[in-house]
Amino acid sequence: MNKKSGTSKAAATKLVKSIRRKTRQTYSSEEKNRIVLAGLRSEESISALCRREGISEGLYYSWAKEFLEAGKRRLSGDTARQATSPEVKGLRSEAMALKECVADLTLENRLLKKSMTGVGGYEE
C-alpha cells in the first residue's frame, strides 16, 4: 500500500511541475522595461510592485540589473551587438572568397614580375 501511494504522489508531483512549466508566464522586453521603470520611479515599494505584477523580487532585481547594465554600455558608446549565426556564416564565406581573390592576384602579380625580369626573382 505504501508503494502505491508513493507512486501516485510522485505522479502528482510530476503533473504539477509539468502544469507549472506550461503555464509559466513569459514577459516581453517592453513589459520588463515597464516594470523596472515603475520600480525605479519609487512610487510604491518593490515588494508591492512585485506582488501586483506576480513576479518574485529576485526576478525584478535581475531585470533591473540587466536594464541598468545595458544603459551603462549604451551610454559609454558600446553599440556592438551579437551577430547571428547566419550573419557569421555569411561573413566567413565572404572572407574566404576575398582571401582566394587576394591569393589569385598575388600569384598573377608574381608571374608577371617573373616574366618581366626573366630571371625568376624580383628586381630592386
Return the closest-CA partner of residue 53 out of 30, 29, 34. Answer: 34
Share of the chain above pLDDT 70, in %: 86
Cα four-point dihedral sign 56, 60, 61, 62? positive
Cα-Cα-Cα-Cα torsion 57, 62, 63, 69, nearest 10 degrees, comes to: 140
pLDDT tens digits for range 62-110? 999 999 998 888 888 766 667 778 888 899 999 999 999 999 999 999 9
- Name 36's Cβ contacts closer than 8 Å, sequence gap at least 6: 60, 63, 64, 67
Average of per-residue pLDDT values in the chain: 85
Beta strands, E only, 40-122: none
Please tell me the predicted confidence (pLDDT) of residue 80.
Answer: 65
Q: What is the pTM of this model?
A: 0.48
